[in-house]
Amino acid sequence: MKICVAGQGAFGQKHLDALKRIRGVEVVSLIGGNPAGTEEVAKKYGIQHWGNDLAKGIARADAVILATPTQMHRAQGEQVMRAGKHVLIEIPIADNVEDSQALTKIARETGVVAMAGHVRRFNPSHQWVHRRIRKGELKIQQMDVQTYFFRRTNMNAAGKARSWTDHLLWHHACHTVDLFHYQTGETSSECYAVQGPRHPTLGIAMDMGILLKTPSGAICTLSLSFNNDGPIGSFFRYICDNGTYQAYYDDLADGKKNPVDLSKVDVSMDGIELEDREFIAAIQEKREPNSALAQVLPCMEVLGRLERIIDPKRECVV
C-alpha cells in the first residue's frame, strides 16, 4: 500500500517510524510546509518524493496521513477524500464543530476510509481496560485525568517552533472526551468547563477544568495546563466498580502501582503503530475503522458545547 504522509514535524515522524514496522506499506511521498525541513526528514527516512504540494502527494498514494496543523485539516481532508483516496486525519480533525461535521459528511459521500487519529483508543493500556469493560468485568465510576505540559512558548514536542498554536480544549481535551465516550459506550449528557487567563501573546487559555457525565452516571474530571513545570503528559485514573487502574500512554498499573502486563494485548506496544495498522487494515478489509470520523463526531460536538460555556461569544453549530 502506498502512503503519503503530510506533515514533517514531530508527529509526522512518529507515523513514519510506525509505518516502517508495518509490512506491505511504502511511504511514497512526504509533504510539508517547511521545504528544508521536509527534505531533511525525507532523506532521513529514505522517501524518494517530497515537496509542499499535497495534490502531488495524493496522486502518488492510495492513502494519506494528515499530520499537519489543525487549521488545515478541513480543506486537506476534503481534498484527499474528493480525490478518492483514504485518509487518516490526526487529532483533532478540526478546531470547530462545523468543520468536523463537514468532514464526516464528505466521508459518507465519497465512501472512502476516513479515520481520526484518536490514539488513546489504541494504546495497549486503554485497550486492556476497554476489553474488560466489554466483558462486563469492569464498569467505570469515574475517570480522573490530568493533562499537563509546559508550553509558555510556541514549541512542539521536538523543541522546535510551531507554525500554529496548540489548544487545550480542541486538542488535548479531545483525547480524553473521546476516550471517555469510547470506554463508557455513551455520549456525555452533561458537561461543564472553566478556564484560566489567556496567554498575553499566544492568545490561548493556559489552564482549564472540565467535568463530564454520561446518562448512566459515569463522570469524568479533567484538569489541563500548559503552565505545568513538572512531569508532562496525560495521566489517567480509572476508578471502577472492580478495581482502580492508572494509565500513562502505553503503560498501565493498578491502584497500588503494581504494573499490569500488556505484552499480549496487541502486536505492538506503540499506540501510534496500532492506530496506523487499524487504518491500513480497514482499507484492505473495506470496512469502517475504529475511530472513524463518524465515531468521533460526538466528541467534537461535546467540545463545541464546552466552548460555548467558556467562550460564549464564539458561535458554533452543535
Task: Give the span between the Cα atoms of 77 and 70, in whole angstroms.
Answer: 11
- pLDDT exceeds 70 at position 144: yes
- pLDDT exceeds 60 at position 18: yes
Of 249, 265, 281, the domain-final residue: 265
Share of the chain above pLDDT 70, in %: 94
302 in any annotated domain:
no
| Domain extent at residue 61 | 2-118+273-290
- Cα torsion 114, 118, 119, 122 to 10°: value is -70
CATH number for the domain spanning 76: value is: 3.40.50.720
298 in any annotated domain:
no
Q: Say whether both 58 and 11 belong to one domain.
A: yes
Q: Say whether both 180 and 260 belong to one domain.
A: yes
What is the value of pTM for the model shown?
0.93
Q: Nearest Cα to 275, choosing from 170, 86, 123, 172?
A: 123
pLDDT, residue 233, reads: 93
- pLDDT exceeds 80 at position 124: yes
- pLDDT exceeds 90 at position 167: no
Other CB atoms closer than 10 Å to residue 177's CB: what's the count? Answer: 28
Q: How confident is the model at residue 95 (pLDDT cuts 50, 70, 90)?
A: very high
Q: Say whether both 86 and 133 belong to one domain.
A: no
Q: Say whether both 111 and 201 belong to one domain.
A: no
Q: Say whether both 45 and 170 belong to one domain.
A: no
The structural domain count of the chain equals 2
User: What's the DSSP call for residue 289?
Assistant: P
Give me the chain's average pLDDT, please.
Answer: 94
Q: Say whether both 22 and 72 belong to one domain.
A: yes
Q: Say whether both 160 and 235 belong to one domain.
A: yes
C-alpha cell at 90: 490526526
- pLDDT exceeds 60 at position 317: no
306 in any annotated domain:
no
Angle, nearest 10°, between helix axes 271-285 and 10-19? 60
